[in-house]
Amino acid sequence: MTIQNAHGKTKFIIFTSAYLALAIADGVLTYMASPNLSKEGNPLVTIWGAGWFTLLAVGIVGFVLYTIAVHYVFVRYKHMVVQCDGFKQYLSMLYFDRPDKFVRTLYKLPQRKSPAYSFMLANICYAFTPSIVLARLVVVAEWILYLNARIYLYTYAHYFRNNLPFQRVDIWVFVVSYILLIAYWYFKEYRINKTALLGVSAIE
């Protein structure tokens, strides 16, 4: 038995629109603050010396890949419902179709490849979707602060960014949110499964 995401299309529109808006804002603000890309922190620029054309091409490809990821997790993916009596049994049944193999889920590839791999791929997409939006939001905020040099130098850069061991705040935000959402996914899916077993129609 599988369940479709009840509000998947709405989430798809919200996340893709947010990503596109932030990507455009990032590009415009980058051009305003650093038209020659001398202040751009993208490794494509700092390491490989890429220009505006390369950044635009990569941005388009990135948006296409992001759209695919969002579409998969919120529209295409179907929640697999399995009979279980707890979280450990849920993963065990999902991966191995047996209630007593939870420990194997920690180190062995699933035997039920179709539902398990779909579950894991959706997990990755689910964590990536808001994490990259948050990271883009940080980048846009940084450019806005940078354009007001006084605020940037005496508040954000001096007291926050420059005290980090790794000074890309957007990457910190992405990594932390991604890890948290990877973990949250398991409990969210278990809750959906439990609700479905109880015969409740609303899943999220």
Q: Which of 83-87, 112-116, 148-152 has the lowest mean pLDDT?
A: 148-152
For residue 66, being part of any structural domain is answered with: yes
Counted domains in the chain: 1
| pLDDT tens, residue by residue, 10-56 | 999 999 999 999 999 999 999 998 888 887 877 888 788 889 999 99
Query: Which class for 99: exposed (0-12), middle (13-18), buried (19 or more C-beta within 10 A)?
Result: middle
For residue 203, being part of any structural domain is answered with: no
Q: What average pLDDT does range 134-160 have in this prediction?
A: 75
For residue 51, being part of any structural domain is answered with: yes
pLDDT value of position 158: 59
| pLDDT tens, residue by residue, 66-89 | 999 999 999 999 888 899 889 999
Confidence of residue 159 (pLDDT cuts 50, 70, 90): low
For residue 140, being part of any structural domain is answered with: yes
For residue 204, being part of any structural domain is answered with: no
pLDDT value of position 117: 93
Confidence of residue 61 (pLDDT cuts 50, 70, 90): very high
For residue 202, being part of any structural domain is answered with: no
pLDDT value of position 1: 63
CA 39 to CA 58: how far, in whole Å?
A: 18
Is-contact 40 46, C-beta < 8 A?
Answer: yes
Domain range holding 37? 2-197
For residue 37, being part of any structural domain is answered with: yes
